[in-house]
Amino acid sequence: MGRQPCCDKLGVKKGPWTAEEDKKLINFILTNGQCCWRAVPKLAGLRRCGKSCRLRWTNYLRPDLKRGLLTQAEEQLVIDLHARLGNRWSKIAARLPGRTDNEIKNHWNTHIKKKLLKMGIDPVTHEPLNKQVTSSQDSSSPAQHLPQADSTLQVEQKVGALNSEENSTSSPNENSSSLLVESICKNNESLMNSIWLDESPLMDTLWDITPKVENENNDMGLPIWEDNCSWLLDFQDFGVHDFGFNCFSEIESNALQTIGMDRKGL
DNA sequence: AAGATGCTCAACCGCAAAAGG
DNA sequence: GCCTTTTGCGGTTGAGCATCT
């Protein structure tokens, strides 16, 4: 018996996406907005599973994605958020505009984990590795070992509010302060403050690109769709050229019609 | 130069939660 | 409230590239 597959496996393509497939998906979403992902492959003429389309869009094709390595500040923020939220990558990603959960997860596993281990910090508990040996004898919380800087206090209060908002899914790591948090707070006070002050999800509204909702986004003080569309001209890092000129002109004309954008104006 | 090893990251898989009837 | 469908999440894999021996 077993579970029904998420999509009809027969005739469903797997593996890396081709430029042609990307083109179809982008074209479809620009024209129709994000609708039922299950229906997308059929409607867009793709031999892919809906899940795969959603993943490709959210992790690679979305207009608001930043490319390239995480900055130092972003990395520190990830570390801090991980200390509080654990492996809840989507929640962490929601607080880093332009970054995806997959990207952050990958970066964590390939870079940050090693970095922390090198520094003698357990990437799971965010506590010093040597301290853990004696932690069973020492019942005091990690925060008690640290001098509490004013900026840290402010951040911790905001985090407290955040945690209470999310306490239904609290992770075992949430209450542990860490040496890293301390240094992050000291070095990036303004960054941390701005982040904790604005707890609204940054990403979701930004990339809700259904054409008719532009003005609603604007009401929230967020950039309207047109402001985020410069990517259409260069297709981010993978470039227009990756699609071939012919296919791009087709997407471009459709996209520009959809969003009412005049290329000459850019 | 060539094979071995390590690293990165896009993509897949399976499960759980949410949504809809 | 139950069942089915759809979506979202986190863990894992593996191809491709870089570096080492």
Q: Are residues A125 and A43 in the same domain?
A: no
Q: Which of A203, A223, A255 lies at the terminal end of a domain, its last residue? A: A203
Among A157, A184, A203, the domain boundary falls at: A203
Among residues A203, A218, A241, the one where a domain terminates is A203
Which amino acid, A193? N
Do A194 and A88 share a structural domain? yes
Q: Domain check: are A105 and A163 in the same one?
A: yes
Q: Would you tell me which residues have their CB within 7 A of strand C?
A: A 4, 6, 35-38, 50-51, 54-55, 87-91, 101-102, 105-106, 109
Q: Is residue A14 part of a domain?
A: no
Query: Any idea which nucleotide's C1' is nearest the CA of A67?
Result: B9
Residues A149 and A257 both lie in one domain: no
Q: Is residue A8 part of a domain?
A: no
Domain contains A256: yes
One domain, residues A81 and A195: yes
- A121 in helix, strand or coil? strand
Distance CA A177, CA A184 (A): 12
Asked if residue A203 lies in contact with residue A236, where contact means CB atoms within 8 angstroms, the answer is no
**How many angstroms separate the CA of A2 from the C1' of C2?**
21
| Number of domains making up chain A | 2
Written as one string, the DSSP assignment of A201-222 is -SHHHHT---GGGHHHHHHTTP
> Residues A117-125: contacts with CB within 8 Å, 24+ apart?
A121/A178, A121/A179, A121/A180, A123/A82, A124/A173, A125/A173, A125/A176
Contact A57, A65 (CB under 8 A): no
The reply to whether A150 and A233 lie within a common domain is no
Shortest-distance nucleotide from A88 CA to C1':
C10
Nearest to A202 by CA among A179, A228, A176: A228
**Which parts of the protein come within 7 Å of strand B, by CB position?**
A 3, 5-6, 13-17, 48, 51-52, 55-56, 59-60, 69, 102-103, 105-107, 109-111
Q: Do A88 and A36 belong to one domain?
A: no
Pick from A207, A234, A255: which is nearest to A32 by CA?
Answer: A255
Beta bridge partners of A128: A121
**CA geometry: angle A54, A78, A156, nearest 5 deg:** 125
Q: Which residue is nearest to nucleotide C12 (CA to C1')?
A: A106
Q: Name the nt closest to A91 by C-alpha to C1'.
A: C9
A89 in any annotated domain:
yes
| Structural domain of A97 | 72-131+140-203
pLDDT by residue, tens only, chain A of 266 residues: 333 445 555 578 888 899 999 999 998 988 888 878 888 988 898 889 888 999 999 999 988 888 788 888 899 999 999 998 988 999 999 999 889 999 999 999 988 988 888 888 888 888 887 765 554 444 333 333 333 333 333 333 433 333 333 333 334 344 444 444 444 444 444 444 444 444 444 433 444 444 433 333 333 333 444 344 444 434 444 433 343 334 444 444 443 333 333 333 33
